[in-house]
Amino acid sequence: MMRKRVTLKEIAKEAEVSPAAVSLVLNNKPSRIAKETQQRIREIAARLNYVVNENARGLVTNETHLIALIVPDIENMFFASLARHLEEACHEAGYALFLSNSNDLRANESALMTNYLARDIDGMLLIPSLESYRHTRQLQRQIADAHCPVTLIDRLVTARICDGVAFDNTQGGRLAAQRLLEARHRRFACISGQVDDVNAGNRMRGFVDVLHGHHITDDDILVLNGNYRFGSGYALADRVLDFGATALFCCNDLMAMGVMQRLAELGLHVPEALSIIGYDNILRRFGMASRLTTIEQDVHKLAVRSWECLYRHIRRHDTGKDCVTATRTSLLTPQLVEGETVA
């Protein structure tokens, strides 16, 4: 049988004080209440298993200390790791984090945003769905109509209406190309993301632009579209080999691992048969891909910077200032992490 929530009035009656006095003590507010009485109130509250009613507190303070996070694919290791670091950042600041998965669909994303905003959350962290790139105005309107600050992370679908924080994907692609050129490769392949994935497209363009700048023609560059999954790297490995590429850039580590698995089945060794660079450097955190040369996106740094952006606007919002003025886009710099897969 579910127990009834203990109220301030019940504690006050047993302690022979007013409910206001109980509220002051349990919320650690300054008061002239005797220390003995304060101790008695706390002991009664502990014995009755009193729990603060956050909804009631929110009505008084106009703060719920609740943050919503919407991710496009919780099975993606990058987003899963980012969610964990965001939760830690929120918790350290005294906020609880709600997490939901949009499954990379704009309709799901819109419904989740509507449901969360109905809960009077204090702020929202949003990694937009891929479909949002085709529905930018709809997303802009929903953010503009929100009663709380919103910060975009990783996928900067629209940074004109709110803050956005991401890594410089174009620079990441450049780093991969420069490393493979230093190894004196002349025939290249790139396994990008889905066709409408802007981040993967920027990585690919940064990669190809550097190759073009070193007089590598399109005849010596093969670009393939994957889907960030292990299986797509595995499935596309044969096409990379048939093309005769000696160097491969994969737009995430999972696809790179898929290619390496296929090469191993064919009796081919990395990097002797094919030099490979991945992206994200997430798998190392799970004890995998320790040999892989990759472009690192520091998820801890991304989480901290994103939370700082949102928290700044929450504080502005609480003081009555416009929470969407002076919006800014923060681009973080990725780093090349050397492994053993480039020769």
pLDDT digits (tens, 9 = 90+) for 292-314: 999 999 999 999 999 999 999 99
Q: What integer pLDDT is reported at residue 331 of this predicted model?
A: 94
* Lookup result for tokens 């920027």: 202
**Predicted model pTM:** 0.79
Q: Rounded to an integer, what distance in angstroms lies between the CA atom of residue 28 and that of residue 15?
A: 17
Q: Rounded to an integer, what distance in angstroms lies between the CA atom of residue 167 and that of residue 191?
A: 19
Q: Which residues of the chain have pLDDT under 70?
A: 1-5, 51-63, 159, 317-327
Q: What integer pLDDT is reported at residue 221 of this predicted model?
A: 98
Q: Rounded to an integer, what distance in angstroms lies between the CA atom of residue 282 and that of residue 288?
A: 9
Q: What integer pLDDT is reported at residue 157 of this predicted model?
A: 85
Length in residues, the chain: 343
